[in-house]
Amino acid sequence: VVTPGPAVSVGPPSDAVVLFDGRNLNEWINSRDKSPAGWTVADGVLTVNKQAGNIETRRTFRNYQLHIEWRIPEHITGDGQARGNSGVFLASTGGGDAGYEIQVLDSYNNKTYTNGQAGSIYKQFIPLANAMRKPGEWQAYDILWTAPTFNADGTLKTPAYISAIHNGVLIQNHVELKGETVYIGAPAYKAYDRAPIKLQSHGDPSPVISFRNIWLRELP
């Protein structure tokens, strides 16, 4: 456990693609049927609507630097994977939870499997530190995503890499992914070109979490 420094909300630089600035969900759609996103925007904050399901960006991306802030409700309930579970899919490669997920969860005082805690590359890489703030406080992820590339026949050319910083603390250092993040079974790559970013609406019954200040900078 590493106690992070004070919370600072870092706004977008001039060349950023702003995905959520507190005003509306124009950059997002429902993953299931591409209809309006259906999550709640109030007081500059975006909150999960579990009835609506996962949402994803209208735009698609390859490599980028992403900033996203998230908050577990102060009075969160549940335990393990059923306590504020959400997730950021750096590339959504299909319906449901298909793609590459960095976990969002309350890991302040909550035991679960190590490669399923907040900041894990789900079921692949344990975070290097637990830098969680307590429920009710804002958390920040700053993520570098290098997308996998594929040969014309669909085989893997170069793997995906992730570096991630949680509340100013390095938690993933250029890890080479084994494939998409899957709940059960061995990860595998599946060819794609550009992909949306997806936010998870997890089926557990705990109170819904929120996001704010989401932006990225596209990289070569």
Which residues would be at the binding site for Mg ion (CB under 5 A)? 85, 87, 200
Q: Which residue has the tokens 């109030």?
A: 42
- Residue 21 or 98 with smaller CB distance to Mg ion: 98
What's 209's DSSP letter?
P
- Residue 11 or 96 with smaller CB distance to Mg ion: 96
Q: Least separation, in Å, of the C-beta of 157 and Mg ion?
A: 28
- Residue 92 or 200 with smaller CB distance to Mg ion: 200
- Interior angle at CA 12, CA 35 and CA 197, nearest 5: 35
Task: Write the DSSP string, 86-103.
Answer: EEEEEEE-SSTT-EEEEE
Name the β-bridge partners of 47: 40, 210
Amino acid 152 reads A
Q: Least separation, in Å, of the C-beta of 28 and Mg ion?
A: 18
- Do 149 and 159 form a contact (C-beta atoms < 8 A)? no
Q: Least separation, in Å, of the C-beta of 115 and Mg ion?
A: 12
- Residue 95 or 154 with smaller CB distance to Mg ion: 95
- Do 125 and 115 form a contact (C-beta atoms < 8 A)? yes
Q: Least separation, in Å, of the C-beta of 202 and Mg ion?
A: 5
- Residue 87 or 135 with smaller CB distance to Mg ion: 87
CA distances from 137 to 107, 192, 194 (A): 13, 36, 33
* Strand runs labelled E in 37-79: 40-42, 45-47, 55-57, 63-71
Q: Least separation, in Å, of the C-beta of 122 and Mg ion?
A: 6
